[in-house]
Chain A
Amino acid sequence: MTLREVKEILEADVLACEELLDREPKSACGSDLLSDVLAFTRENSLLLTGLTNPQVIRTAEMSDLIGIVFVRGKRPEPATIELAIMKKIPLLATRLPMYEACGRLYMRGLRGCSEVE
């Protein structure tokens, strides 16, 4: 599944790096704890989160994540978007709450980080 398909499935807006939506996440994780993201995600994963501060982008950068979806209508501050553009990390924003956003993607076959090699 590409990020473009993720955008459609989640009825999401693109906030950064529209030109990189052909990327394909290998797995995904939903978390509001950056410590968990750093400790348990795989590289090339998609992160779904309700956090919007710039450290989310930093965490994605360090963990080699492929993109970020902000859930439940959260919009990041401009500094977060600027950093994402600089680091070439696509940002999506959906009105769906975390559980539903994760559920839709999972039903369409995007696996969790602990399920992929």
Chain B
Amino acid sequence: MTDEKPLIELERKIEGGDFQSAGDVSSELKRILQQIGFPPSFSRRVVIAAYEAEMNVVIHAWRGVFRAWIFPRYVHIEVDDEGPGIPDLELAFQEGYSTAPPHIREMGFGAGYGLSNMKKCSDRLEIDTRVGEGTKVTMDFFVRDV
């Protein structure tokens, strides 16, 4: 992150297993990005990556915290969860690989594209994971598509 002062800082809790509220945080982020007036294609990739990260916490973790710092031409997101962690990160990035249980798959998730899609949508993705403790996802997005 830069020393620049963000326009807006957002911090929200995410509960694991709470499918009723799943998506609320990303939805709020979308509204904020639209209000600021970011290009729609930029907002779209930020929001899709944020939603993938939010759903990962709801699906896999016990609880998490979503933080976003919104700058005039750049968005920084950190999603920090308490959860099982990711034992094999390389495998988790492989398209089609998923550990999601059957009831998640019935909802249409767990096809194994989450991490690779977050990588595709963001300009920088970092994952710090400790098995049995949790996972921290850090993403940066730069306005480049004007």
Contact = CB atoms under 8 A, between A and B. Distances in A.
Interface of A: 32-39, 43, 49, 51, 53-56, 58-59, 61-64, 79, 87
Nearest to B29: A62
Interface of B: 19-20, 22-23, 26-27, 30, 40-41, 44, 47-48, 50-52, 55, 107-114, 116-117, 120
Secondary structure dominating the interface of B:
helix
B30 A56 contact: no
A95 to B, nearest CB: 21
A55 B47 CA distance: 14
B48 A51 contact: no
Contact of B48 (A38, A49, A54): A38
A39 B117 contact: yes
Q: Find the residue from A36, A37, A49, A62 having the highest chain B CB count within 10 A.
A: A62
Contact of A58 (B44, B51, B112): B51
A49 B48 CA distance: 19
15 contacts: A34-B109, A35-B111, A35-B113, A38-B48, A43-B44, A54-B19, A55-B23, A55-B107, A55-B109, A58-B51, A62-B23, A62-B48, A62-B50, A62-B51, A63-B48
Contacts of B40: 43, 64
Q: What DSSP secondary structure best describes chain A's contact surface? A: helix
A107 B105 CA distance: 31
A63 B44 contact: yes
Contact of B108 (A34, A39, A64): A34
A58 B23 contact: yes
Given A34-B108, A35-B109, A38-B48, A55 B22 contact: yes
Contact of A61 (B27, B108, B110): B27
